[in-house]
Amino acid sequence: MREVVIPYKPRAVQRQIHAQLDIHRFSVVVAHRRMGKTVLCINQLNKEASLNSLRNPRYGYVAPFYSQAKEIAWDYLKFYTRNYPGRKVNESELSVVLPNGARIKLYGADNPDSLRGGYFDNVILDEYADMKPSVWNEVVRPMLSDRNGKAIFIGTPKGLNQFHEIYQLGLDDENWYADMFPVDKTGILSPEELESARATMTEAKFRQEYYCDFTASSDDVYIPLSLVEPALGKRYQRHIYEDAPKILGVDPARFGDDSTEIYIRQGLQSMHVATIKQHDTVQVANRTARFINELRPAQTFIDEVGLGAGVVDRLTHLGFEVMGVNSGRTATKEAVYRNKRAEM
Per-position DSSP letters for 89-122, written without gaps between them: EETTTTEEE-TTS-EEEEEETT-GGGTTT---SE
- Looking at the fold, whether 46 and 166 belong to one and the same domain comes out as yes
Q: Is residue 41 part of a domain?
A: yes
Find all residues with CB under 8 Å of 294, minimum gap 6, and list them.
Answer: none
Lowest average pLDDT, out of 99-113, 220-234, 328-342, goes to 220-234
Q: Give the length of the chain.
A: 344
| Pair 194, 245 in one domain | no
Whether residue 257 is found in the same domain as residue 200: no
Q: Are residues 69 and 169 both part of a single domain?
A: yes
Regarding whether 255 and 202 lie in a shared domain, the answer is no
**Nearest Cα to 241, choosing from 208, 271, 197?**
271
pLDDT at 312: 95
Whether residue 151 sits in one domain with residue 263: no
Residue 231 lies in a domain: no
pLDDT at residue 257 greater than cutoff 70: no
Helix orientation angle between 37-51 and 12-23, rounded to the nearest 10 degrees = 40
Look up residue 22 and give its amino acid. D
Same structural domain, 242 and 196 = no
Residue 232 lies in a domain: no
CA angle 13, 50, 177 (to 5 degrees): 40
Same domain, 56 and 191: yes
Q: Coil, strand, or helix at residue 187? A: coil
223 part of a folded domain? no
pLDDT value of residue 33: 93
Question: Do the domain assignments include residue 227?
Answer: no
Mean pLDDT computed over 152-174: 93
Cβ-based burial of 12 (10 A; exposed 0-12, middle 13-18, buried ≥19): exposed
More confident residue, 230 or 103: 103
Report the candidate in 120, 168, 169 with the shortest Cα–Cα distance to residue 142.
120
Residues 203 and 245 in one domain: no
Contact 188, 35 (CB under 8 A): yes
Between 19-23, 59-63, 237-241, the lowest mean confidence (pLDDT) is in 237-241
Q: Are the C-beta atoms of residues 125 and 106 closer than 8 Å to each other?
A: no
User: Residue 251, Cα to own-chain centre: how many angstroms?
Assistant: 21
Q: What pLDDT, on the 0 to 100 scale, is given for residue 59?
A: 98
* Mean pLDDT estimate for the chain: 92
CA distance 2 to 91: 26
Judged against a pLDDT cut of 80, whether residue 258 lies above it is answered with no
User: Is 4 inside a domain boundary?
Assistant: no
Q: Is 323 exposed, middle or buried (0-12, 13-18, 19+ CB in 10 A)?
A: exposed
Q: Is residue 234 very low, low, confident or very high in pLDDT (cuts 50, 70, 90)?
A: confident
3-state secondary structure of 168: helix
The answer to whether residues 251 and 207 belong to one domain is no
Q: What is the dihedral of CA 136, 138, 144, 148, to 10 degrees?
A: 100
Q: Which one of 176, 211, 246 terminates a domain? A: 211
Domain span including residue 261:
238-343
**Does residue 305 form part of some domain?**
yes
pLDDT of residue 255: 66
> Do 86 and 156 belong to one domain?
yes
Q: 211, 226, 259 — which closes off a domain?
A: 211
- In tens, the pLDDT along 193-212 reads 999 999 999 888 999 999 99
Shared domain for 62 and 176, answered yes or no, is yes
In tens, the pLDDT along 89-118 reads 999 999 999 999 999 999 999 998 888 889
The domain tally of the chain equals 2
In a domain, 309, yes or no: yes
